[in-house]
Structure 1
Amino acid sequence: MIYIALAISLLIPLCSAGQYVPVVLWTNIKRSECTPNISVYPGEPISVFTESSYFECLRSSHPGTVKVYVTDELDQVDLATSRHASGEGKAFHHLKATLTHHTSLVMPAVIASSVPAFLQNRFTEDFGGESVVSVVEVGRIDRGSAESTRRSIMLIDEIINEDLLKMKANEKFVAVLVAKSPPQPQLHVYEEGDSHHGRQLLAVTESFAPAAQQFVHWQTCIFLSYTNLSLTHGASVYSLVEPKVERGFCSESSDNASIDLSFKVGNGSASVGQSQSVVKLGLQFVKVLSKASAVTWWNISSAVLNHSISASDKSYKLRISDGYAYSAPSNWSWVCKKPPAMTWKDPKDSTNTQKLEFESIQLQPFGIVNANFSRASDCSGFLSGPIWMGTVVSFLLLAIFTFGMMFMSAVTTMDRFDDPRGKPLSVNLQEGN
């Protein structure tokens, strides 16, 4: 059977841990019969899909079988799990082979509120009269180690593939892969055979708990993702949690955009009273044409902080020390693991300071396409530390080589030689006084 798949695939890294789950749907109903003319953006409920004309078109096509494959936890990283070092197959190999060459519909991060049960009920109510709707539990992903994760994902892929092969040839079907919840942060201890990345100067056992990625957006034109946000107020440090978008502005025809965010004061060093405080951050963006490169770049034109942690509500206009930070070409995103802090200082009181620090941030206020971050501009730049180190060492070795060649080229031989058939050479030696 030839699958003309309509796939919700190629999930993007926008799923916030504990908030969103990805959904993958594919069908052999031809695109000419049902066109996926909807967009389910990150953070929207699955009902956007089930209430769409595309869902109604699938129902009216009368598929014989509807399969809902359910796993306990699923993340966009799972679909990109790579080949093992030994050369064995990739995870979700069969599913990717079905989806790769066909039209895709992206539902990368729907709100995780009983999505499998909701889909089962909707498919049963709307398709149940003429379709056989079934839910298949495909097991859980063992996240104890990188190898166990890969093997359990491959097993789930095999279960789905074998179940699809049991269907009758040319029978119309709709299949969905969904998770009950996103994976929770776990303590992972590297084991022998795990894939390690980056430089390893010491062979040590490393354990860590991955931080949850926070994602907020305004409509489909301002995306912000980060792992941690902290506020330093004087000598106290506060963790800002539960980000919420208050309002925003963006337009494809405008060179300006803005977003207003609010946060709650989390753990950190906040007291009980301060934990109820609300911190607000207003960011304004502008496009500027660079005269040097003739390329339009975006940057933060204004950053205003407002809170009442130690007094009544007060606003602080923050300053970014690095003028090249939080800036990228107009249709690019900006990525930085440790970006420069946004700061404010009281000129009359050196102890009255404000400092806002992000960790592992990705930001894009313009040029969002298909509900995904665009190509990223990394804050480390081209001349990073390792590149500088390699360049300096190369020039040092080149200088040593050049110095040696100069000395070798200065070596000369005698201009006269002794001829055995002629008069012998005489060298006058004069003794010093």
Structure 2
Amino acid sequence: MAGARCPSRVRLMAFLTLFFACFATASSTAQVPLLMWSTDGLPPLASPTAGHITPSDQFTAYLTSAFGSGPHTVLLFLQDKLSKDDFTVFGGVFGNKQDSAFQNLEAALRSSSSSVTLPALEWSGSSAIPALLQEKLGVSPLLVDADTLSHISINTADSNLLLVNLPYCTGLHKSCKEVLHDNDEVIGKVLNIMKDKNVPYTAIYTGLQPSQVISETSMSQPPAGRSLLQTVEPTVKAPIMFNETGGPCIMLWAQNLQVSVSETWVDLAAETPSLVGSRCNGNSSLLVLTYETGFTLSFAMSQRFYSVSARNWSTLDSVELQFSGLAASFIGSRNIYAPVEYSYHCQFVTSFQDNLLVPNNTNQNTSHWRLNFTDFQIQGFSLANGTNFSYANDCAGFFTPGIWMGLLTSLLMLFIFVYGLHMIMQLNTMDRFDDPKGPSISVPQLE
């Protein structure tokens, strides 16, 4: 997203912008963001993939490795509510410190020896994080603020859990940006006190529960330039993933999963399905999506070895739609295929236009059922990357109608150019010239 070098603060802003905007998810699971940094260093943690929600047990295991031995002093900045959108909307403009609501937080992340950013941590209750830290450190949390912290003595020989409560804008007479800016000032004061006391610490900034960002409609002037976490990016839905023993084995993602059974289209992509009945093995995969509205979609895939290409290929054999005790089956044409190491992607997969899905049901009650999948991608084998699709084999051919039109137009222009050049090269100059203004040439006739 340019190759020019930029100041460290701008790089940090760009990182946070991409991190929180690209990892937005439409999952129904409640989640809160969590920022963690330390003056001593933290164990490495792989960055989550797009749309991934970090499970609470994974975070628990990470805290075990981070606080496994020795005493630790932990600062827990616990805000009443917090979500990814708070960073997205109230961040600030690149390079303009006056517009950022998180100046001290950004400075702390820049100056720390290591940091961990979890844009979507599974939320299991308002007391989950304090209770988890109390369990790992073996001490009860001590509620402090900037004033009381400056007057207490911290014994670094023992573990300490210092809790700083921060408000949110709900019910207050200040705007959300002003409240977050005040909270950031509190964070800055607390960190400066810890620095003056020369106490090493690990800080965590998260929320008691997810928040609903309140949009600020009154703006004195339109924002200029590229903004830090200010423009809300379209949310990226998490792919549907079926896990078997040993990890995920089937993944599906689509912008729209539209079905029509009574001349009315229903988009199932907006619902969260149950995966009961799904299965996978080395030769076949079956993904069963059961929705609360009564629809059931089943995707059957298989793989086999083709000696001509000397490799295994996977195919989408059929798609079955069930509703109200009736079922309609659609056969995947030979165009829905990919190397077994790849995923399959197509912008439009329908049962009534491109014949990628051919109806295979003569039942009169289901003869008018239709499927329409937009931006469809599926993979049933060789999910080596865990939560990521492999390289996609796209259904669009290389020579599209636009490319053919461009080639034919170019050939026609080339023919006209060559023909004109050939005509010019055939022109010859005259070997004799007659001056029309001079006396005419008279040839005497001899009798």
Normalised TM-score (structure 1): 0.61
The 1:119–1:157 alpha-carbon spacing in structure 2 relative to 1, beyond 3 Å, is: same
The corresponding residue for 2:319 is 303
The 1:125–1:332 alpha-carbon spacing in structure 2 relative to 1, beyond 3 Å, is: same
The C-alpha deviation readout for 1:17-38, integer Å capped at 9, x for no partner, is: 443536445444877x857699
1:248 equivalent to 2:278? Answer yes
- Match for 2:29: what amino acid? Q
TM-aligned CA deviation for residue 318 of structure 1: 1.6
> What SS does structure 2 have at the residue aligned with 1:258?
strand
> What SS does structure 1 have at the residue aligned with 2:276?
strand
Structure 2 contact 25–235 (Cα < 8 Å) conserved: no
List aligned pairs for 1:20-59, cutoff 5 A. 20-21=30-31, 23-28=33-38, 42=52, 45-50=55-60, 52=61, 54-55=63-64, 57-58=66-67
The 1:212–1:56 alpha-carbon spacing in structure 2 relative to 1, beyond 3 Å, is: closer
| Bigger helix fraction | 2
Q: What CA distance in whole angstroms lies between the structure 1 residues aligned with 2:396 and 2:87? A: 27
1:133 equivalent to 2:162? Answer yes
> What SS does structure 1 have at the residue aligned with 2:321?
strand
Q: What CA distance in whole angstroms lies between the structure 2 residues aligned with 1:247 and 1:291? A: 33
TM-aligned CA deviation for residue 246 of structure 1: 0.7
The corresponding residue for 2:204 is 175
> What SS does structure 2 have at the residue aligned with 1:244?
coil
Q: What CA distance in whole angstroms lies between the structure 2 residues aligned with 1:214 and 1:242? A: 11
> What SS does structure 1 have at the residue aligned with 2:319?
strand
List aligned pairs for 1:231-310, cutoff 5 A. 231-240=259-268, 241-250=271-280, 254-265=282-293, 278-288=294-304, 296-307=312-323, 309=324
The corresponding residue for 2:73 is 64
Q: What CA distance in whole angstroms lies between the structure 2 residues aligned with 1:120 and 1:81? A: 26
TM-aligned CA deviation for residue 337 of structure 1: 4.5
1:414 equivalent to 2:430? Answer yes
List aligned pairs for 1:51-200, cutoff 5 A. 52=61, 54-55=63-64, 57-58=66-67, 60-68=69-77, 70=79, 72=81, 74-75=83-84, 109-114=120-125, 117-127=127-137, 128-129=139-140, 130-135=159-164, 137=166, 162=188, 166=192, 167-168=194-195, 171-177=200-206, 180-181=209-210
Q: What CA distance in whole angstroms lies between the structure 1 residues aligned with 2:37 and 2:403? A: 48
The corresponding residue for 2:378 is 363
- Match for 2:348: what amino acid? K
> What SS does structure 1 have at the residue aligned with 2:350?
coil
Q: What CA distance in whole angstroms lies between the structure 2 residues aligned with 1:343 and 1:184? A: 45
TM-aligned CA deviation for residue 415 of structure 1: 5.1
The corresponding residue for 1:324 is 335
Q: What CA distance in whole angstroms lies between the structure 2 residues aligned with 1:195 and 1:292? A: 55
Provide structure 2 residue ranges, at least 5 long, that are not aligned to the other structure. 1-14, 141-158, 170-175, 227-232, 352-356
What is the identity percentage for the equivalent residue pairs of Structure 1 and Structure 2?
19
TM-aligned CA deviation for residue 302 of structure 1: 3.2
Q: What CA distance in whole angstroms lies between the structure 2 residues aligned with 1:386 and 1:77? A: 43
TM-aligned CA deviation for residue 165 of structure 1: 5.3
1:216 equivalent to 2:240? Answer yes
Q: What CA distance in whole angstroms lies between the structure 1 residues aligned with 2:397 and 2:183? A: 39
TM-aligned CA deviation for residue 358 of structure 1: 2.7
Aligned to 2:349, which of 339, 343, 348? Answer: 339
> What SS does structure 1 have at the residue aligned with 2:71?
coil
Q: What CA distance in whole angstroms lies between the structure 1 residues aligned with 2:96 and 2:404? A: 37
TM-aligned CA deviation for residue 119 of structure 1: 1.2
TM-aligned CA deviation for residue 283 of structure 1: 1.9
The corresponding residue for 1:230 is 258
1:354 equivalent to 2:372? Answer no
- Match for 1:171: what amino acid? P
> What SS does structure 2 have at the residue aligned with 1:260?
strand
The C-alpha deviation readout for 1:316-356, integer Å capped at 9, x for no partner, is: 322235x434x444444444443334452544749723222
- Match for 1:315: what amino acid? A
The 1:291–1:416 alpha-carbon spacing in structure 2 relative to 1, beyond 3 Å, is: farther
The 1:104–1:264 alpha-carbon spacing in structure 2 relative to 1, beyond 3 Å, is: farther
The 1:379–1:19 alpha-carbon spacing in structure 2 relative to 1, beyond 3 Å, is: farther
- The count of aligned residue pairs is 373
Structure 2 contact 330–361 (Cα < 8 Å) conserved: no
- Match for 1:225: what amino acid? W
Structure 2 contact 33–83 (Cα < 8 Å) conserved: no
- Match for 2:378: what amino acid? L
